[in-house]
Amino acid sequence: MRSSYGIAVALSAGLRLTTAAPAPRAESSLLYVTTYPVGQGAGKLITLKQDQTSLQSVAESDSCGPFPSWLTQAGDILYCVNEAWGGANGDLSALKISDDFSLPKLSGGQTVAGPVSTVVYGKGGRGLAVADYAGGGVDTFNITNPAAISLIKSQVYPAPGDNRPEPQNQARPHHAVLDPTGNFLVFPDLGADLLRVLRVNQNTLQYTDTKSYKFARGTGPRHAAFFKSGDKTFLYVVCELANLIQGFRVTYNYDKTLSFSRIYNSTTHGGTSPVPAGTSAAEITLSPDSKFLTVSSRNEKTLQYTLANGTAVPSDPLITFSINAVSGKLTHVQTAPAGGVNPRHFSFNKDGSRVASALQSDGRVIVFERDVASGKIGKAVAEANVPGMPNFVTFKQ
């Protein structure tokens, strides 16, 4: 499967920039990208500007620290975590979004080691929860005043104790997700094969650990997405180690806990056939209209993508499913090239008409068109090579 488009090349801020034929709409948008470092350098928070004909860097920042790995926007504040490879702790920073594209740091706080995901929670969006992969824990922060964010609680979960090799030798929460009611935080724990569930007091921002859902050992739940359909709630989990998508009907119990009944189980490609050796599932995202679910799969290299300069390169897939609003079952819609190797993260713009893909191994960010009605990803609108290894990309809200 191939994707090709018109070519234009420019050099700006150290990036090799390539662009496509004009997009249907003459709108301008910003994207934020975080990168891991290559060699002895430091990662960056990069601001890209996409207009009708180009994708170019307009700013770089080191405000997140040398190992930025996740961004959450809340109004005019961008919360960024520094994964701090090899460190005893990580960092959370509150950055001010400014008209001149600068992102000055307002305040910060220390996390458990290896923060990789954050989510806003609580009444008025006054809390922020962090998943700490390397340290095996979670943190919660009070972000009522972004200029003085403060730690509420950090905790580290015990190791499973069954002497499995890395990465399942310890607890490894990988994603922080808020349920549709705002009363529960869930954390897929790749190391312990658990879905950890915390009941939240939305006023005080405190939480209580409740019963977890247990996956079969070796599944490796990585990221998750809730889907609300009428009076039904579903949860979909992408599992990195087993390369599965598992779907659950969620029940809100009288004892203020959650129960999960599995209603769907397939490989990341929607069937039962084994995926290529070395494959590692990554991201799962619900479309803005809640009609489709897309996942990314790393290191398959089974597809092909044609760069703007005409070079054909191996590509991993972005795989899209439609969601049955009654049963919660998934139906495969499309397997499209992500634009290169190792799509660690991707995101939709506000109306779902664009998809941005961060190719960690190729040092590339690509923006694709997307048909909102069919859910299918179309031709590339723009691409840019960025310094380092891009691990996260999001459209500015």
Which one-letter amino acid corresponds to residue 223? Answer: H
Q: What angle do CA 18, 23, 26 make, to 5 degrees?
A: 110
Contacts with 258 (C-beta within 8 Å, 6 or more apart), sequence order: 179, 184, 186, 197, 210, 213, 250, 251, 252
Q: Which CATH class is domain 9-395?
A: mainly beta
**String of b and e for 317-334 (b: at least 16 CB within 10 Å)?**
bbbbbbbeeeebebeebb
pLDDT at residue 310 in the model = 92
Pick out the chain residues at pLDDT < 70: 1-28, 53
Residues 294/301, Cβ–Cβ less than 8 Å:
no
pLDDT given for residue 8 in this prediction: 30
Structure confidence by residue, pLDDT tens digits, 127-144: 999 999 999 999 999 999
Q: What is the pLDDT of residue 41?
A: 85
Question: What are the structural domain ranges in the chain?
Answer: 9-395
Q: Report the pLDDT value the prediction gives residue 18, as an integer from 0 to 100.
A: 39
Other CB atoms within 10 Å distance of the CB of residue 74: 16
pTM assigned to the model: 0.92
- pLDDT at position 168: 98
The pLDDT of residue 53: 66
Going by C-alpha positions, the residue among 106, 135, 118 that lies closest to residue 68 is: 118
As a whole number of angstroms, the distance between CA 16 and CA 48 comes to: 13
DSSP state of 173: B
What end-to-end distance do the CA atoms of the chain give, in Å? 32
The two beta strands, 9-12 and 15-19, are antiparallel
Question: Is the distance from CB of 357 to CB of 338 less than 8 angstroms?
Answer: yes
Q: What is the DSSP string of 188-250?
A: EETTTTEEEEEEE-TTT--EEEEEEEEPPTT--EEEEEEEEETTEEEEEEEETTTTEEEEEEE
One-letter identity of residue 293: L
Quote the pLDDT of residue 40. Answer: 80
